Structure 1
Amino acid sequence: MSVARSSIDVASTPRKSLLSIGQVLAKLTPEFPELSPSKLRFLEDRDLIAPGRTPAGYRTYSSEDVERLRFVLTVQRDQYLPLKVIKAYLDDRDAGKNPSLPVTNGVHGASMGDDQARYTKAEIVEAAKASAGLLEGAVTAGLIQPKKVYSGSDLVVLTSIVEASSFGLEPRHLRGMRLAVDREVGLISQAVNAANGSTRAMSPSELRDKGRELSGILTTLRSVLTHDALNRLES
């Protein structure tokens, strides 16, 4: 289900209740500094928002549009969810359903998926709007472990791969990410054990909790470094 195009009649709607692109940017850029007109148009192209139009064709945004934008941008920034997952959630909400977003691990908002969810091969392919071949490619690349029943985390991974494929990336191109994760887990394990020092050995659950805490810190660091590197490409 796509977002219905706004049918706001600007002639009958108080002018003060509608905002231009510039006014929306002024309202939201303090929270989202990277927001731009092209980003707004991109979200519109993805059917995540549906601004109205003036008779001259200029976009207009209602207060509901602004709050929807704020939600999309917040979830994308804080939970690292693919736009396709966010759109599916909003489509269900618009249809009057009571959907839930994939849960987070509570540390810097990194999305971990709902590990209580279970999917067969056919179900996860349908939920991610992927193909069986793409799932097989993800398994071959080590991005998803081979199994008969898949988890919510697997769904987030597969959905992200589907999103990446729109940029021409295939699972084989992402194999390096699996290797980088394995190296990072080794680094985290060493750091957590070293920080524990000569005190009592940590239980597996304590080791996981500490590891997730450090993982959240490293995720934020990696995100900022990537962001800065991309900014340098523009200069």
Structure 2
Amino acid sequence: MTGAAARRGAADDLAPAEGSEPWPRGVSREPAMKIGEVVDRLKAEFPALSVSKVRYLEAEGLISPHRVGNGYRRYSVADMERLRYTLTAQRDEYLPLSVIRERLTELDGDMDAPPPAPVARVVASDGRTVAGAFDADDLVHHSGASLAQIEELVTIGIIVPDAHGRFDSRALTTVSLALRAGRLGVPLRNLRTVRSAAEREADAIELATQHKRSRSTTAGEDAAAELAGVLAQLHTSLLHHAVDALR
């Protein structure tokens, strides 16, 4: 049995008892969407998402779309929400697929688990509704930062806009953390050292995973995300030790 088949088998063994509905509950399970439609619907939140990525996550046992008579996959809204949960956990928490799979299994068994949260949407200054994207005015409004602070964070490379002057969904969290650091006594300009440390760690991750990227983009991305999570925990541990040494 292959590793992927074993993971699917383990997921089946932990599936909800017959008659109970897996997570998310209260969401349509009609298999009405093709794989391309699912990718198109999630593309604004996850620009790098591809058909091959969705198929990879299916092979890893994270989602189980319906198969119609000709063997083609059909996805429901519930399938799409499980996919969104998986992609968000990878992007925002750098969790390995094994941990995400365990979380989904726990949600399947928890009958009181809440329905998926609605996608965060921001209304930009020109009245357009934007999913997962922010301009400087949006960041000012939602973070409580001043425009000057946003500009300073851009100048020192803590947040980076795209060619259209927009920021991805993580920028809001980054700005909020930078402001908290400022309130605790670290000037924004001093956050350059934090950015530099993150860039050095990213270089180490790139070097460590480049052989996997050369064989499979998806496998390389997942390996990089998992390693980032490990290094983030290691960094936290070492930082606490360093602070304890100051006492």
User: What TM-score do the two structures reach when normalised by structure 2?
Assistant: 0.45
Which of structures 1 and 2 has the larger relative contact order (alpha carbons within 8 angstroms, sep 6+)?
2
